[in-house]
């Protein structure tokens, strides 16, 4: 029986950390679905709007050719609808997505495994640090 893995992210500036995260997530199962956050959701969670729009971010993740499926998160209040729609066996969370674990456990069906994915050189490959450096260099 194949295992379906689901991961979430903004993927605003795709970097090596994202690539390693997606490859690690793929190793947990046979089919990887990536949920790219909506612009509004990303702004709400991170405190500022993404540089790239949601459709561009979806295309960037698709271009990596790691995930079997890449789609946008749901619009509206029910952020867990996408989990019910995709019905994963495993949800992979990024190393920095710790704040969501308890709420996630309350809102998913029993039997879905939650795994925390490892950081890959977070002192270098973290979107907020990359954006900060780009701002310093006048590239943003």
Q: What pLDDT does 95 receive?
A: 76
For residue range 33-47, list pLDDT tens digits in order. Answer: 999 999 998 888 778
For residue range 1-26, list pLDDT tens digits in order. Answer: 689 999 999 999 888 888 999 999 99
Q: Highest mean pLDDT range out of 62-66, 76-80, 108-112?
A: 62-66
pTM tops 0.95, yes or no: no
Residue with the bigger pLDDT between 140 and 40: it is: 40
Structural domain boundaries in the chain: 4-136
Residue with the bigger pLDDT between 96 and 108: it is: 108
Q: Report the 3 state secondary structure along the chain.
A: CCCEEEEEECCCCCCHHHHHHHHHHHHCCCEEEEEECCHHHHHHHHCCCCCCCHHHHHHHHHHCCCCCEEEECCCCCCCCHHHHHHCCCEEEECCCCHHHHHHHHHHCCCCCEEEECCCCCCCCCCHHHHHHHHHHCCCC
pLDDT band at 121 (very low <50, low <70, confident <90, very high): low
Top CATH class of 4-136 equals alpha beta
């Amino acid at each position: 029986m194949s295992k379906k893995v689901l991961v979430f992210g903004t993927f605003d500036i795709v970097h090596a950390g994202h690539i390693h995260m997606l490859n690690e997530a793929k190793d947990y199962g046979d089919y990887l679905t990536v949920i790219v956050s909506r612009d509004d959701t990303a702004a709400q969670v991170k405190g500022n709007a993404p540089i790239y729009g949601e459709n561009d971010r979806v295309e960037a993740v698709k271009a990596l050719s790691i995930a079997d499926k890449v789609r946008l998160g749901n619009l509206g209040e029910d952020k867990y609808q996408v989990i019910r729609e995709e019905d994963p066996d495993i949800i992979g969370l990024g190393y920095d997505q710790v704040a969501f674990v308890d709420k996630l456990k309350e809102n998913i069906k029993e039997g879905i495994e939650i795994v925390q994915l490892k950081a890959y050189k977070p002192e270098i490959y973290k979107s907020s640090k990359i954006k900060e450096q780009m701002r310093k260099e006048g590239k943003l």
